[in-house]
Every structure is written in structure tokens, then in C-alpha cells.
Amino acid sequence: MTTALIHERLQSQLAFHTEIDKLKRVIRRNSLIDGSRRENDAEHSWHLAMMAMTLAEHAPPETDISRVVAMLLVHDIVEVDAGDTFIYDPVAVEGQAALERAAADRIFGLLPEDQGARLRGLWDEFEERRTPEARFARALDRLAPIIANHHNEGGTWPLYKVTARQVMEKVRLIEEGSPTLGEYAARLVAGSVAQGHLAP
């Protein structure tokens, strides 16, 4: 590679780096585990990547964990443009897909073409949920807010009048990625119902 090309690529990579800093200002519905404030997308993505590293043994055998980590690091970047969607709001979820695809075109498009295509591919894989890696990544993304809500007297559940029946639909997505984690999540949900923090 010529020096000029190296520098041109570096400029694109650093433009991407500056752009994705905005993910630190995209605020999710759920709180930190101590309830002190709401969580942002960047720190959430870090936490999920750490979960992938430490919960790897609960993924199906042969799962490529470094791809799961990479997928989780990029999975919310589109929200720089499209904003966070609350998964229990069906109207928001419907309109969101087109917004997110446009965001992926723009933001991954800041990178040199080969790299943009690779990261876009990871995001598409996460969204399509066809591989064991994507299903495991998605399971962690669904498990994390259940843990946070369980620690926060129900957190977003009572706030947005979410019921255990609705949460159990998400638990089934966790089971698809990891039966062990799905079973654990179902126990947390039952515990929250028993404690009166989640309506049946």
C-alpha cells in the first residue's frame, strides 16, 4: 500500500471513529444495575461484549465468540441516526427498520469500502439472526435488561406497563441463542412476578 493510500484510509477510519462517539449520547430506556441513571448505547455495547467473553460456554459448541464480540460492538451503531427503540413499542419497532438501514448505509459508509462492508455484514448478520453467533449475541442483548430490571424492582416493566407474558416472548429469543441462559432468564422473570415487580 502506498503512503498516500494508507493516509487516505486512516482519514476515513478516523472520521468513522469521531462519528461513532455519538453513540455515547444515545440513551436507552433501562438503567444501570444500581439504578442511578439510564444507560447509553456505547457502555451497553461494552457490557454485552464482556458478557459474550464470560458466558461463552453457554453458547452452542463451535460458536465463534470473537465474531459474537465484534457483532455486539457494532450492533447499536445505527442508533446514532435512528435512536433507540423500546422493544415493547410495536409502532416504533415497525418504522425503525428502514431508518436503521439508511443509518447503516451512511455510518458504515464512512469507512474504506472493504471495512464498511465487513462491519455492515456483522450488523446484517445480527439483525437476521440466522447464525448461532447472531442468535447468541441477540440472547445477550435481551438478557441484559432483564437482569437490570430484576435488580431495579422491575425497572422499565412497571414504568411502561409491560407484563410477564410479553417478557416471556423475549425469553424465548434468549432460549434460541442459549437454552441455559433462557432458563436462567425465565427464573428471573418468575422471581420478579413473585416479588410483585412485574405483572403476570
The site for its own copies (CB under 8 A) is made up of: 6, 9-10, 13-14, 16-18, 20-25, 32-34, 36, 39-40, 42-43, 45-47, 49-51, 53-55, 57-58, 66, 69-70, 73-74, 111, 115, 119, 147, 151, 180, 184
**Nearest to its own copies of 163, 195 (CB atom):** 195
**Nearest to its own copies of 57, 169 (CB atom):** 57
**Nearest to its own copies of 13, 163 (CB atom):** 13
The H-assigned helical ranges of 55-112 are: 65-74, 79-82, 90-108
3-state secondary structure of 133: helix
Shortest separation between residue 91's beta carbon and its own copies, angstroms: 29
Beta bridge partners of 163: 199
Spatial contact of 30 and 149, defined as CB atoms under 8 Å apart:
yes
Shortest separation between residue 36's beta carbon and its own copies, angstroms: 7
Shortest separation between residue 95's beta carbon and its own copies, angstroms: 27
Paired sense of beta strands 27-31 and 38-40, if any:
antiparallel
Spatial contact of 99 and 79, defined as CB atoms under 8 Å apart:
no
Shortest separation between residue 197's beta carbon and its own copies, angstroms: 17
Per DSSP, 60 falls in state P
**Nearest to its own copies of 54, 200 (CB atom):** 54
Shortest separation between residue 73's beta carbon and its own copies, angstroms: 6
Which grid cell is 82? Answer: 435512528
Beta bridge partners of 60: none
Shortest separation between residue 146's beta carbon and its own copies, angstroms: 11
Spatial contact of 159 and 88, defined as CB atoms under 8 Å apart:
no
**Nearest to its own copies of 124, 199 (CB atom):** 124
**Nearest to its own copies of 73, 162 (CB atom):** 73
Beta bridge partners of 199: 163
Spatial contact of 107 and 81, defined as CB atoms under 8 Å apart:
yes
Write down the number of H helices and E strands in the chain. 10, 2
